[in-house]
Amino acid sequence: MAGAIQPRLVRQRHAELLSRIDNLDHRALAGLHKTTERARLTFDPRAARLMGSVGQALERKRTQFVRLAPRLSPQPLRAELRQLQGQLGPLTQRLALAPDRITVERRQKLEQLEKLLKTLSYHSVLARGYALVQDEAGDVVSGASGLKPGDALKLTFADGEVGANVAGAPPLKRKTPRSPSDDGSQESLF
């Protein structure tokens, strides 16, 4: 009898387990359906909004492209290139003439500077009758106060140079005559 009870218990236990598996399977399937339905309910509106926003974004990009498409054409670039080539012609001519013009302008400027140099040079002063006086060291002597009798000098004139020696003292200054004295008829302003 113990041998017959055991298979019946096994079958009963097997039936309970199958029932439990079916129950769990049914519950799991129901839970899966609920979870899927909840996900679908949240997904569907989002998907619809996403599709709408993708469509809107695509339409915005299409509008921008349609607006920019004429500028992407090579025709405006070709027109601008022709215009710039037209401007290049006169510039090329000016560039070809520039070296000659610059040479003439610089030559004129050099001639002006040469004239200015001649007028400011001490040689033009010498040509007017003045002389350049230098001491033995070659320094310019600009006054008699630093000279003493016997000092050697070099005098440069417009037509050449000569040596000279200081002889004697410098000339005395002349006294300036005094104005006649007042006879008292005019009052002093001071």
- For residue 162, the tally of other CB atoms under 10 A from its CB is 10
Could you tell me which of 171, 138, 142 has the C-alpha nearest to residue 152? 138
Q: Identify the pLDDT of residue 156.
A: 93
Per residue in 94-129, is it b (16+ CB within 10 Å) or e — as a string? eeeeeeeeeeeeeeeeeeeeeeeeeeeeeeeeeeee
Q: pLDDT tens per residue, the chain (190 residues)?
A: 555 678 888 888 888 988 998 898 888 888 888 888 888 888 877 777 777 787 888 889 899 888 887 777 788 788 888 998 888 888 888 888 888 999 999 999 999 999 998 888 888 888 888 999 999 999 999 988 888 888 999 999 999 999 999 987 656 666 776 666 656 666 767 6
Q: Identify the pLDDT of residue 119.
A: 85
Q: Identify the pLDDT of residue 127.
A: 86
Could you tell me which of 154, 153, 181 has the C-alpha nearest to residue 166? 153
